Structure 1
Amino acid sequence: MLAEIKGINEECGVFGIWDHDKATELTYYGLHAMQHRGQEGAGIVVSDGLELKAHKGLGLVNDVFKHAKFDQLTGRVAVGHVRYSTQGGKGIENVQPLLFHTQNGSMALAHNGNIMNNHKLRGELEDQGSILQTSSDTEVLAHLIKRSGEKISEKSIANALGKITGAYAYLILTEEKMYAALDPSGIRPLSIGRLGDAYVVASETCAFDQIGATFEREVLPGELVTISEDGLSSTRFAMRGRRSMCAMEYVYLSRPDSDVNRVNVHASRKRMGAELAKESPAEADMVVGVPDSSISAAIGYAEESGLPYEMGIIKNRYVGRTFIQPSQELREQGVKMKLAPVRGIVAGKRIVMIDDSIVRGTTSKRIVQMLKEAGAKEVHVRIASPSIQHPCYYGIDMSTREELIAANNTVGEICSILGADSVSYLSEAGLEKAIVKDKTIHQGICTACMSGNYPVQDGKREMSYTNS
């Protein structure tokens, strides 16, 4: 589905590599692999062991680094970031990694997620004399780390993390070490890989495949990982509960070839489609998926239902991402430019149109209309996730109930609004069955935007600084 209209704008992607002679170039390729997670800005900070140097800008990775002087970004350690803004403005000052210089060392921060108590913390910092230079919640952590005046260390980082509430995956780079941290509920994805003797950390495992690295393990909820010339060590900065990985990583956000919490995204989407076919069959002639993230679910639905899967909608690969357009009118024009029905396939047919999710319904309505204008006899909309009825406070751009079509309309009303012949959603039980392999403490998903059950509240979470 098109994120630009639905409102499910991707979060951000972080990438880091330690001890490789082509650290900057590999970080560029790692960011390129995760371009789908953010298109508003990108940046890389590299360390040669003596100083940190940065290059960042607004736009896509290719554009930002088109004229970069890589020969001046030398070093064996680097961290990078692709950004979609859910907190803070869209100016260059908010593009990450954020780089800070102090008298006793420098620090770069790359962040995926959202700090829920950001406003409160910013107020406290300002009351104590801090002057923040950006509107990004990422900067808050840097001030918390340095507030004690101590040198940046595992302890100062852990103490700072203990003061924030929310969903986050952090990469922190100094001249001597690289740190990776994940929120206590494990809402955001973060993995560790190896490329020869080099360590690699990334939001998605597709970045490992891009550079030839191999997956080692997930960063655990509440874990602070330190990578240095002494190797890799681990500290637990928070009491770990049941993992609550964002379900939308599987439904829409992550690339199909990524493994999130050891579950392949494409395979989980196929299972979502299969469960949807069991729960909501339709008398139809074919199954059509909305490119690109719905294709896997459409294949699963077709296989389970016995209906043929057809390419009834094509995507124009040469149109830029339209969610960056400033007005709804221009965004809707972008849908017409990006998607088109295959008239010779859908004309006179009863279609099951599979989509991964609906937020506002604007794009779904337009696609149903396009299919019927192309001669489709019937269009039965099947959504491979539960209805989204609640805001997300953890880093996805769905902030108010007023914009959510399912929060304000019944399924029958949604069907009428879309102009479809029927509409059905996957159940929460079906979603969990498709994703969760087992129900141990290491498995589990956050379905807050669907169920209203938020794993992290905007309050103080029990924290501790202990070695794991």
Structure 2
Amino acid sequence: MEPLKHECGVAVVRLRKPLSYYHERYGTWEYGLNKLYLMMEKQHNRGQEGAGIAVVKLHSRPGEEYLYRERAEGNNAIVEIFDAVGKQVKEYSEEEIADPVFAEQFIPFAGECYMGHLRYSTTGKSGLTYVHPMVRRSNWRAKCLAICGNFNLTNVKAIFDEITSKGQHPRLTSDTHILIEQIGHKLDREVERLYRIAKNEHNYQGMDITNFIEAHIDIKNVLKKASPLWDGGYVMCGLTGSGEQYAMRDPNGIRPAFYYIDDEIIVLASERPVIQTVMNVPSENITELKQGEALLINQEGNPRIEQILEPKENKACSFERIYFSRGSDCDIYKERKALGHLLSKDILEAINYDVDNSVFSFIPNTAEVAYYGMLEGMREYLKAEKVRDILALKDKNADSIQKILTRSIRTEKVAIKDIKLRTFITEGKSREDLAAHVYDITYGSVRPFVDNLIVIDDSIVRGTTLKQSILRILDRLHPKKIVVVSSSPQIRYPDYYGIDMSRMSEFTAFKATVALLEDRGMTNLMHEAYEEAIRLRQKPLTEFVPNVVKTLYKPFTAKEISAKIVELLRPEEVRTDIELVYQSIEGLHKAIPNNPGDWYFTGDYPTPGGSHLVNEAYISYFEEYIKIHK
């Protein structure tokens, strides 16, 4: 499949002991930095447009820096960041670097509080300005704030209006810049509340006030006041200059977060196996942050879990399990296998149960686990067929039984992901010719005009890679029939919670549906949906509204849409019979029972913002459609 962009990955590390402890036990005071680096590299799949880190020293003296940040753009950002950190460390002598007490006091990035981020943009905005963590500086350590997150908010304008109504004047309007101003404002109020208590109730003066504030600041109060306005899927992470840290998950649990705590360290990441590998701990020792919860860590390094927002219906993202998260997670591995296994019946129907003349393969590389599940299903079918055939034998001799037993499911690595070819030619036909060679094939793996060829992929979004490369290259083997299997259902609707697919015109399932409406003279439904979407614009953004796009899919079965997709994606020169087999919604939920968020496939958005934005996307699409079809 064509790669999807996903926002984002987070990593939090908090050391609970002095740097000298780690130097003595693990041979280096850089223990925390090393863990942060590993956790970020293990989540490289989640962000290849940029990365950043923030580190806070707890024991800096006035006049010395206490909050350090390093950011970089591009696929190599993690290496660049830690190389830059290493260069700053190497400016000190070997004796100074070997002294953890000196490092704790003077060496940059030698701190106790760490936060890392990997970025995939879903906003189209690029440049270092938009790379997390964002920092809001202040002369008060407790008011100094760095934030990062795996999130996409659907109501940035509402938050912008809220903070500007109170006199703030943000210079940029991206969701992260607006968010840091909103949270920062609430943090200022929390510090000022404690200032009044210290001064008026305890009669503290000077540094006693500062020490009181830093010892009693409660990020729970900040999040309780800021988060009710947030609509979207998110894991928000933050770090103050005085050493308070937090990570909060949205009340529907759309975006994931996992944490591990022992007496030395606290870590949090977007994926569980990252922590398992980096910390070498079993999965049962790692906890998933629940809906609306926050992991809060105070200045002393003591953690607690607080319920910030009341949990809503569980809508944990199913696409995390199908595609984005690492398949090395024990549960995700089982789920992806189940997705493949549950497609067995539909695949058998597509090849008319002719397993003897069929070759099974997969599109590299993310569909490989679903492929193993598909094979299990095929082997179960063949095993049952063998039993029936043996029982039906009238003359049960060794040869006849052996002939049945030697039947097997034929598996080959047919498609090969070639090196990334640079399509430097922009002219249409030449570019298409180059794009066709993104994949290669194993010649001789299929008997021409005899074998069916079944290839499984994890999902089909735009269909571009299928049309430009996969179908063309598979056709060179001259199979009797090509069956392309998607382990996920038809992707019909945009995402607004952190995955880069927000335009209706991108989805091959939607384009096929529009084509069917045109073929059958039913485009009046498109006009009616547009008029309804315009009417629903008047509804408050905090209120759920009907998804008008659903009405366009309603007249057609999934099989009708799949057949039309084949028509749209079939390259002109390909004459082989092609069929698409998609996962069902029922199969999706059976395979992935704990991540029921399925709005990509059903259009059932978990937040009001999503329901409004899908209608806005349709309005934009239809207005462009009308211009073209005048």
TM-score past 0.5 threshold? yes
Give the alignment partner of residue 59 of structure 1, picking from 68, 74, 86.
74
* 1:135-161 deviations in Å (ceiling 9; x for gaps): 431222222223243237220122111
Offset of 1:43 from its aligned partner? 0.7
Give the alignment partner of residue 352 of structure 1, picking from 443, 450, 454.
454
Offset of 1:66 from its aligned partner? 6.0
Offset of 1:326 from its aligned partner? 11
In 2, Cα distance between equivalents of 1:330 and 1:127:
54
Per the alignment, do residues 309 and 57 of structure 1 end up closer, same or farther by CA in structure 2, a change over 3 Å counting? Answer: same
More strand by share: 1
**Retained in 2: the 8 A contact 1:250–1:265?**
yes
Gaps of 5+ in 2: 17-28, 61-65, 90-107, 192-216, 352-356, 380-408, 513-560, 571-576, 612-630
Offset of 1:237 from its aligned partner? 1.4
Q: What is the match of residue 463 of structure 1?
A: none
Q: What is the match of residue 144 of structure 1?
A: 182
Q: Tell me, what secondary structure is at the counterpart of 2:461?
A: coil
* 1:248-280 deviations in Å (ceiling 9; x for gaps): 011111110136xxxx21211110000011333
Q: What is the match of residue 21 of structure 2?
A: none
**Amino acid in the other structure paired with 1:396:** I
Per the alignment, do residues 191 and 289 of structure 1 end up closer, same or farther by CA in structure 2, a change over 3 Å counting? Answer: same
The one of the two structures with greater contact order (alpha-carbon pairs below 8 A, sep at least 6) is: 1
**Retained in 1: the 8 A contact 2:134–2:180?**
no
Q: Counterparts of 1:351-390 in structure 2 under 5 Å? A: 351-365=453-467, 366-390=469-493
Q: What is the match of residue 507 of structure 2?
A: 404
For the pair 1:425 / 2:421, whether they are aligned, the reply is no
**Retained in 2: the 8 A contact 1:200–1:213?**
no
- Which stretch shows the higher mean deviation, 144-153 or 15-24? 144-153
Aligned residues: 443
Q: What is the match of residue 340 of structure 1?
A: 440
Give the alignment partner of residue 450 of structure 1, picking from 601, 604, 614.
601
CA RMSD of aligned residues (A): 2.7
In 2, Cα distance between equivalents of 1:330 and 1:448:
37
In 2, Cα distance between equivalents of 1:374 and 1:196:
59
Moved over 4 A (4+): 325-338
**Amino acid in the other structure paired with 1:423:** L
Per the alignment, do residues 154 and 267 of structure 1 end up closer, same or farther by CA in structure 2, a change over 3 Å counting? Answer: same
In 1, Cα distance between equivalents of 2:434 and 2:145:
40
* 1:348-395 deviations in Å (ceiling 9; x for gaps): 242111111111111122211111124434211111111011111111
In 2, Cα distance between equivalents of 1:135 and 1:128:
16
Per the alignment, do residues 240 and 294 of structure 1 end up closer, same or farther by CA in structure 2, a change over 3 Å counting? Answer: same
For the pair 1:236 / 2:307, whether they are aligned, the reply is yes
Per the alignment, do residues 418 and 26 of structure 1 end up closer, same or farther by CA in structure 2, a change over 3 Å counting? Answer: same
In 2, Cα distance between equivalents of 1:396 and 1:328:
28
Give the alignment partner of residue 161 of structure 1, picking from 220, 227, 237.
227
TM-score by length of 2: 0.66
**Amino acid in the other structure paired with 1:139:** H
In 1, Cα distance between equivalents of 2:377 and 2:130:
46
Offset of 1:240 from its aligned partner? 0.9
Per the alignment, do residues 110 and 88 of structure 1 end up closer, same or farther by CA in structure 2, a change over 3 Å counting? Answer: farther
- Which stretch shows the higher mean deviation, 148-157 or 46-55? 148-157
- Structure showing greater Rg: 2
TM-score by length of 1: 0.88
In 1, Cα distance between equivalents of 2:475 and 2:365:
20
**Amino acid in the other structure paired with 1:242:** E
Per the alignment, do residues 311 and 30 of structure 1 end up closer, same or farther by CA in structure 2, a change over 3 Å counting? Answer: same
Q: What is the match of residue 278 of structure 1?
A: 345
For the pair 1:87 / 2:190, whether they are aligned, the reply is no
Q: What is the match of residue 314 of structure 1?
A: 416
For the pair 1:221 / 2:291, whether they are aligned, the reply is yes
**Retained in 2: the 8 A contact 1:89–1:135?**
no
**Retained in 1: the 8 A contact 2:7–2:499?**
yes
Offset of 1:335 from its aligned partner? 5.3
In 2, Cα distance between equivalents of 1:83 and 1:280:
37
- Which stretch shows the higher mean deviation, 131-140 or 382-391? 131-140
**Retained in 2: the 8 A contact 1:354–1:383?**
yes
In 1, Cα distance between equivalents of 2:130 and 2:580:
40
Offset of 1:197 from its aligned partner? 2.0
Per the alignment, do residues 216 and 210 of structure 1 end up closer, same or farther by CA in structure 2, a change over 3 Å counting? Answer: closer
Q: Tell me, what secondary structure is at the counterpart of 2:111?
A: coil
Q: What is the match of residue 416 of structure 1?
A: 567
For the pair 1:170 / 2:236, whether they are aligned, the reply is yes
Per the alignment, do residues 408 and 301 of structure 1 end up closer, same or farther by CA in structure 2, a change over 3 Å counting? Answer: same
Offset of 1:68 from its aligned partner? 1.2
In 2, Cα distance between equivalents of 1:81 and 1:327:
37
More helix by share: 2
In 1, Cα distance between equivalents of 2:464 and 2:347:
23
Per the alignment, do residues 38 and 388 of structure 1 end up closer, same or farther by CA in structure 2, a change over 3 Å counting? Answer: same
Per the alignment, do residues 102 and 213 of structure 1 end up closer, same or farther by CA in structure 2, a change over 3 Å counting? Answer: farther
- Which stretch shows the higher mean deviation, 124-133 or 41-50? 124-133
**Retained in 2: the 8 A contact 1:88–1:137?**
no
- Which stretch shows the higher mean deviation, 131-140 or 154-163? 131-140
Give the alignment partner of residue 204 of structure 1, picking from 271, 292, 299.
271
**Retained in 1: the 8 A contact 2:172–2:178?**
no
Offset of 1:332 from its aligned partner? 6.4
In 2, Cα distance between equivalents of 1:380 and 1:395:
31
Per the alignment, do residues 194 and 333 of structure 1 end up closer, same or farther by CA in structure 2, a change over 3 Å counting? Answer: farther
**Retained in 2: the 8 A contact 1:343–1:375?**
no
Q: Tell me, what secondary structure is at the counterpart of 1:266?
A: helix
